[in-house]
Structure 1
């Protein structure tokens, strides 16, 4: 259970402690902002900061983010087409790896540097 609580997939997007941390960091850095309809969108700063991570996933083609309650953390993580694109990008970069036969994701050493020390580092 520890691995599932740390990082897992949830309908194709990132969940668990790492998913919640991702959401909180993007909001704290001002890279994502709430819209009037209760969803979220990338800010100009967010688009610039995340462009290298998932350039195809950042196109303003109606991709949205919204909250998804995390069962293990009892807090929200991001869901929606943009969240799915981000998870795909993290997997493609080798920052996360799928655990065969499970929804669990493992943070790789490269991912620890790129994600925790890089993107999610000090706000």
Structure 2
């Protein structure tokens, strides 16, 4: 037997269609119940519970208990990044489960990737910040420079209040529809939350779509001009 991480086990967990649907539903960043995930997967609650047990055992999901209720989320940002990359690989090779629908343009324009902005708007924000030197990718890690800190502070985001201080401040994530990077990490999460708080954008219920208001779209384009 070869040494090293066992990617075949993770591949088998993600590769089951019902479990893939469950994981994709959790990419919304919301905590969902087993019943809700059974509906997303198109299976019975009993079958969904079996799938969830395997995903939890494989450290792909986290189960949180609140009183009598259980809520399920992805286990970490790392899981979300892997899923987003796999979606890009599948889309690029033509592995699509359904024909494009009327909501696809909105999904491609702006959507949530677990807890940060993805789609055309997400890659535009990333490219704009790279082009102006706010983000630096010259080393092994993506970093926020001094000018970048001034920029996001002037935008109204308090870097000192961002959650999960042990997580990376900046991280790039491969966008499945654009096949380019968008901004993840605590900064990506904080900027999306800021857009929602200021009324620039809001989440479409029961969807990963992020919808910008006309005012929010104009403000976003002014803050993040195309390079």
1:41-80 alignment, distance < 5 Å: 41-56=143-158, 58-59=159-160, 63-80=168-185
| Alpha-carbon offset, residue 2 of structure 1 | 0.7
The structure with the largest helix share of the pair is: 2
1:61-100 alignment, distance < 5 Å: 63-100=168-205
Bigger-Rg structure (1/2): 2
Question: SS in structure 2 opposite 1:55?
Answer: coil
Question: SS in structure 1 opposite 2:150?
Answer: helix
Aligned 8 A contact 2:133 2:147 in 1: yes
Separation (CA, whole Å) in 2 of partners of 1:41 and 1:2: 31
The structure with the largest strand share of the pair is: 1
Higher relative contact order (CA 8 A, sep 6+): 1
Unaligned runs of 5+ in 2: 1-103
1:120 corresponds to 2:224: yes
The aligned length equals 120
Unaligned runs of 5+ in 1: none
Aligned 8 A contact 1:70 1:77 in 2: yes
Spell out, residue by residue over 1:8-31, the C-alpha distance to the aligned partner (whole angstroms, 9 max, x if none): 000100000100001000000111
| Alpha-carbon offset, residue 121 of structure 1 | 2.2
